[in-house]
Amino acid sequence: MSSESIYLDANATTAQASAVTQAMIECYERFGANPASQHRPGHQARRRLEDAREAIAETLGAEIGGPQADQLILTSGGTEANNLAIFGLSGPPGSRTIVSSIEHPCVAGAAEQLSREDHRVDLLPVGRSGVIDPTELEKLLTDTAHLVSVMLANHETGALQPLPEIAAIAHEHRALIHTDAVQAVGKIDINFRELGVDAMTVTAHKCHGPLGIGALLLRNGVKLQPRLFGGSQQYGLRPGTENVALAVGMQTALELWRKESQERTQRMQELRDRFEALLLVEIEGLQVHSRSVARLPQTSNLAFPGVERQAFFMALDMAGVACSTGSACQSGSSEPSPTLLAMGCEKSQIDSSLRFSLGATTEAAEVDEAARRIILAYKHLRKAK
């Protein structure tokens, strides 16, 4: 164990499950035709693709049959699905969109682009705990908005947001509500219909599925404006040849989660709590962001007093502990965390915070060894400083 690297960056991506790999290999071997082709092999590929699409939607709690059936639009991942939602649901120029101040960069960046395209964009603030107060949305919705976008669970702190209440408020004011559920899928139970949202973004590689596939789930009757053109696939809403094997991989990963959901959630939470407890005993002044509220079971964002996050991150990498300074999309950036800034954290906390995140395969021995290495690296860095 001492010489092996310990991976505690599952919020960035997770290792693909062997069952997922096997299902994809079988699919590549059996369904190699273009699912849009009209010959028999094409029809067979199409049938397998639609079976996977239906299974994914069902696992996520969507309505899959009858006149009220929801739509599942397959994409290349969470970033594309979030962009499709923001641009496709925000209405014409002049419309108003509200996004929370703790969104992932692919939502925040899309909202910034909207503002450059003559849309009005407002930020929904977040409290010190990392949770949005729904009454703040009530205040913002005194003017009409076309779209509200609030993530289900934060990618940095793991803080869960009160989506059903937020969705109800948005609908009272005749606004559409979109949620980025990328980090929550495969970690906590999710039911699309029970959340009450109009659109939900998911991806496969955060829950031991393949990289390169995500989806946007749309409630029945919601109208989406496409961002890509030139094909009739997926009702013209996201043209391009679908990858059947990736869809099967996503289906398999979600079905594995459904079978093991209660055990996985409990196990990851116990390991996370054990990890935090070990560090809190040995590191005086250590702070756990969003500790007082409901969090994802695998996420731990910690402020280490007296050290600089980038230097500590590099020291841990050398010690064989893989973690993160924030979102994987911005991990190469030295900019402070947008989430911690929005929460009103002190500069010293922001500058010393690292994110640790567990996967379904993380073991207790790894957690214990990682904590030992982190404590040693921290004390060494403090002594050198």
* pLDDT tens across the length of the chain (385 residues): 456 899 999 999 999 999 999 999 999 999 999 999 999 999 999 999 999 999 999 999 999 988 999 999 999 999 999 999 999 999 999 999 999 999 999 999 999 999 999 999 999 999 999 999 999 999 999 888 999 999 999 999 999 999 999 999 999 999 999 999 999 999 999 999 999 999 999 999 999 999 999 999 999 999 999 999 999 999 999 999 999 999 999 999 999 999 999 999 999 999 999 999 999 999 999 999 999 999 999 999 999 999 999 999 999 999 999 999 975 555 445 678 999 999 999 999 999 999 999 999 999 999 999 999 999 999 999 988 7
| Tally of CB atoms within 10 A around 378 | 21
Whole-number pLDDT of residue 329: 54
What does residue 216 show for φ and ψ, rounded to 5 degrees?
-115, 120
101 neighbors 124 (Cβ within 8 angstroms): yes
| Tally of CB atoms within 10 A around 124 | 23
End-to-end CA distance of the chain: 29
**197: its two tokens:** 């949202």
To the query of whether residue 106 is one of the catalytic residues in this protein, the response is no
- The rounded distance, in Å, linking the Cα atoms of 113 and 51 is 36
Whole-number pLDDT of residue 176: 98
Whole-number pLDDT of residue 1: 47
Q: Which of 27, 207, 329, 345 is catalytic?
A: 329
Alpha helices (runs of H) in 90-231, residue ranges in sequence order: 105-116, 134-140, 163-172, 192-195
- The rounded distance, in Å, linking the Cα atoms of 370 and 104 is 27
DSSP 161: P
**362: its two tokens:** 């993380």
Cβ neighbours of residue 274 closer than 8 Å, sequence gap 6 or more: 364, 367, 368
CA 20 to chain centre: 20
Give the chain's domains with CATH numbers: 6-15+261-384 (3.90.1150.10), 18-255 (3.40.640.10)
- The rounded distance, in Å, linking the Cα atoms of 297 and 359 is 10
Q: In sequence order, what are the beta bridge partners of 288?
A: 302
DSSP 101: T
- Sign of the C-alpha dihedral, residues 32, 26, 253, 275? negative
Residue type, 297: P
- The rounded distance, in Å, linking the Cα atoms of 89 and 176 is 8
Whole-number pLDDT of residue 105: 96
Whole-number pLDDT of residue 3: 66
